[in-house]
Amino acid sequence: MPLSTLGFNADRIAEIAEALFELEDKDMRVSRKEGAWSRKQVLGHLIDSASVNHQRIIEAQITGSLVFYGYKHEQWVDLQDYQNADWEELITLWCSLNMHICEMITKIPLDILDALHDTHSYDRTAYRELPADKPSTLGYLIEDYFAHLEYHLHQIQDV
């Protein structure tokens, strides 16, 4: 089964970064609704997600396991104070991490990418939760990562 990255590749990441650079820092500081993250915090969350999923993708290849622990994403965003970070630095970091992920996944052998695992934690850790009793693959994790990325990019870019 070929991997779907929902159209994400290094070129698309660069295009998105260019569009993000056009957005004003002051506008990215404002929450779009009461109690929600600002766009800067959403981008910070995407940086954290890239970091966590980069590690998961590597660990899955090393250990052969798709069982991962979640992370306290709200605390990660608060502790790193993305709200007060430089917008352009956040974009640069997000772009670099995702370009690296795009390149990294091209090197995963198909037999590893598509290997069915009866045990996984996608019922607790995935954006698109998958029942624990349904077998899954590393490819699912990668596709799920990009679906999550797409969802949050719309929150940032829909002005």
**pLDDT tens column, 123-154:** 999 999 999 999 999 999 999 999 999 999 99
The answer to whether residue 107 scores a pLDDT higher than 60 is yes
- Cα 85 from chain centre: 19
| Residue 159: band (very low, low, confident or very high) from pLDDT cuts 50, 70, 90 | very low
Tokens of 157: 């870019």
DSSP-derived secondary structure for 69-89? ----HHHHHHHHTGGGS-HHH
The answer to whether residue 3 scores a pLDDT higher than 80 is no
Tokens of 29: 């500081």
To the nearest 10 degrees (0 to 180), the angle between helices 87-105 and 138-157 is 150
Number of helices (H) and strands (E) in the chain: give both, helices first: 8, 0
Q: What is the pTM of this model?
A: 0.94
Place of tokens 């974009």: 91
143: left (phi over 0), alpha (psi -120 to 50) or beta: alpha
Residues 6+ apart with CB under 8 A from 69: 121, 125
Dihedral of the alpha carbons of 51, 21, 104, 126, in degrees to the nearest 10: 50
Name the fold adopted by 10-157: Four Helix Bundle (Hemerythrin (Met), subunit A) (1.20.120)
- The sign of the torsion formed by the CA atoms of 97, 102, 57, 142 equals positive
